[in-house]
Structure 1
Amino acid sequence: MASPFVATQFVEFQRWSFSYLISLGIAVLNTLFLVFVLRFRTQDDCLAEIGQAPPEKISSNDSKYKQIFRLCAVNILAAFILIYVGVEVTIGGWIVTYIADVRAGGSSSGYILFGFFGGLMLGRIALLWLNKAVGERTILFIYILLAVGLELVMWLVPSLIGNAVAIAFVGLFLGPIYPIAMNHAGRILPQYLLTGCISWIAGFGQAGSALIPFLTGLLASREGIKSMQPMHVSAIKVILLVTMMGLMFGLWAIVPNHPRKID
């Protein structure tokens, strides 16, 4: 939430690239905190410290990597998270340009990101009760559909304030998706492989933060910044963000709902 305020201030400086020093400092602090808390201990050591028995391991001649990559659910979830991260980063990066150029938001357009990232944070906390009441698997479909609908609102409603409210609610509904997916992974994947599975899902997913914005940039450079949103109804063309959300919907539909044994 604080990043849009900091980044917007740096935009007005001649040496705006110094903003990366803040990112570097936060990354270093985060690494130091992780080292201090985990102290290079294994998963079994951490579980033993809190009084939990380590997960039962299944004997196999295959390496852990081969066992992980043979799990269909892992690869589906990795693709799902890749698209999700790409959509989140694309919205966070390109919405400022869209608001500034299309909605004449001016140099203060960066502050709209406060609403988006604030929505991400709030959604992961305030919607916990709704996730439990409806069911995590079902509610995720609803969140994706709501996010798609709000993207359409941003295109169809030529209002700066309306777009700012819409992007905040997009963040609100996208926020719970990542933790829901990871929580689901913890239920359906073998516990003794869970650390490696989560690492692969999260690591592969981060590639989306480069891939989807790159594709969006290609579209924007060819069609203009309005290609970020659905184009005119007569063209019946769905833009990249909505298409990616549709892929998320389809991938989530085929994610297994129950644990499956390794062959």
Structure 2
Amino acid sequence: MLTSEIECPVAPEVISEKSFPDDRQDSKRSVAVIETSSPDSDSTTDSRTSRQKYISLLQFVALCWPLTLNGWNDGTTGALLPRIQTVYEVKYIIVSLIFVSACVGFMTGSVLNLYVTPRLGFGKTLFLGSILQTAAYCIQAAAPPYPAFVLGYYICGIGISLQDAQANGFVGNLKYDAVSKMGLLHSAYGLGLLIAPFVSTQFAQLPRWSFHFLVSLGLSLSNVALQLAVFRLRSLDDCLGAGGEPHVAPAPVGKGGLFRQVMKSYSTHIIAIFIIVHLGTCVTLSGWIVTYIIDVRGGGPSAGYISAGVFGGFVLGRFALIKVNQKIGERYAIILYSMCCVVLEIIVWRVPSLVGSAVAACFVGFFLGPMYPIAANQAVRVLPPYLLTGSLGWIAGFGQTGSALLPFMTGVIANKTGLGVMPPILMGLTILMALLWTIVPNTPYTT
């Protein structure tokens, strides 16, 4: 669902273009001028009052919480999957319907966001998403028949998609500390990923395993209350203004509605496809590694904690590799990390060791960690401000489909060939991800 963005120093000079009506030209421009780049938002002089800074910080913390719950939701599945399969007596392909349902939910939410946001505004859309997520956990906590249980993932997917879109769009529109906050926002997602397996592994071994979703329900209710208290159903401009941030510039006349603008954005779609593959790789690893260790490497019930190790690597990588990203540049960093992941995935596949597979999987998480933040910051750099909420929402929401679709495809293949096929699938996804990154636009947007 699967799920810290890395700060990138701004080069002193960049090539930028003037007056291109379609951002499809981002990666192939015929006219360019050399100009001094504007200061990064992290270095902008802060002239806000103390109260505005406090409000801005409070808003940011409030937005980190739904991202933490998103990570919690994604981090839960891997440890519970063997128990769900046992309780409902279903094969790999049927239990993988969990991922399909979530995938359809994410897709529904990403499209719905483009229609709902212009009509309801930021605060109401964020609140709606939190309500839907809460409703999903109400269904799942009762351990209903399998179709109803799977339906809960669909509803939850819509809610998470709406909240992801609003949180990413809000932070992307910040003037002050935007790059750092984008990184911290997605680190909150990683924190949820890290914590969830410790809790869900315990519930997976209890008779009332579905009561894990009561914990999720309590956390979700706190999220509903927090969003309502902090944002009070207000518009994006009102919330930004309360924190001393400038209002979002309106779209140029004649550009059409938000849906049409986003659908015409080449940069948006390329980054979204990259995120689909990235999150699909992350959740395929975290969602199936426990079952892989048990079925292929002969692990026991405590193998559920390996998910926590993967997510721990995921979170640690987002912080520990910041300096590496700055040293070699974010464009090259993702290629390097992808190569490291492929080597580690070969170890998981070919080395017949339970401990070796577990440790290698954790390091795969370590190198996957920084990739989403880098991609999100790249989107902020290349997209116009008036498209950020819609485009980041589409990237976050539609991109989340990868966290459901690709694990499902892995389950379908494993149902016929056995779960030993998982590492080669991960290798293929990682290589595809690196290739996609090479065609992501790299020219900053200029007015």
TM-score, scaled relative to structure 1:
0.90
Deviation at 1:30, TM superposition (A): 2.6
Identity %, equivalent residues: 49
1:21 aligns with 2:186: no
Q: Tell me which residue corresponds to 2:400.
A: 206
Q: Give the distance between the partners of 2:352 and 2:378, measured in 1 at CA.
A: 38
> What's the counterpart of residue 217 of structure 1?
411
> Is the aligned partner of 1:150 residue 2:344?
yes
In structure 1, the partner of 2:196 is 3
Corresponding letter in the other structure for 2:222? L
Aligned mates of 1:153, 1:90 — CA distance in 2: 17
The DSSP-based 3-state class of the residue aligned with 1:202 is helix
Q: How far is the alpha carbon of 1:167 from its aligned partner?
A: 1.2
Distance 1:250 1:154, change over 3 A: same
Q: Tell me by how many angstroms 1:25 deviates.
A: 2.5
Q: Structure 1 unaligned runs (5+)?
A: 231-239
Equivalent residue number for residue 250 of structure 1: 435
Partner of residue 40, structure 1: 233
Q: Unaligned regions of 5+ residues in structure 2, if any? A: 1-193
Corresponding residue for residue 106 of structure 2? none
Q: How many residues align?
A: 253
One-letter amino acid of the structure 1 residue matched with residue 246 of structure 2: A
Aligned residue type for 1:23? S
2:219 is aligned with what amino acid?
Answer: I
Per the alignment, residue 120 of structure 1 pairs with 314
CA displacement, residues 73-113 of structure 1 (integer Å, 9 cap, x when unaligned)? 10111111112112211111100011112111111111111
Q: Matches of 1:49 and 1:141 in 2, distance apart?
A: 40
Aligned to 1:236: none
RMSD: 1.8
Structure 1 match to 2:223: 30
1:249, 1:121 → 2: CA distance? Answer: 20
Contact 1:81/1:205 (8 A) holds in 2: yes
Which is further off, 194-203 or 134-143? 134-143
Quickly say closer, same or farther: Cα 1:31–1:243, change in 2 above 3 A.
Answer: farther
CA distance in 2, matches of 1:129, 1:250: 24
TM-score w.r.t. the length of structure 2 is: 0.54
Deviations 1:15-43 (A, max 9, x none): 21222222232233233323333333333
Query: Counterparts of 1:20 and 1:179 in 2: how far apart (Å)?
Result: 28
Q: Which deviates more from structure 2 when the two are superposed, residues 114-123 or residues 5-14?
A: 5-14
Relative to 1, partners in 2 of residues 1:6 and 1:61: Cα closer, same or farther, differing over 3 Å? Answer: closer
Matched residue, 1:235: none
Paired residue type of 1:10: F
Alpha-carbon distance change, 135 to 32 in structure 1, aligned in 2, over 3 angstroms: farther
Q: Tell me: CA distance 1:62–1:103, structure 2 relative to 1, closer, same or farther (3 Å).
A: same
1:246 Cα deviation from its structure 2 partner: 1.8
Aligned counterparts of 2:256 and 2:246: Cα–Cα separation in 1: 24
Show the counterpart of 2:246. 53
Return the match for 1:161 from 334, 343, 355.
Answer: 355
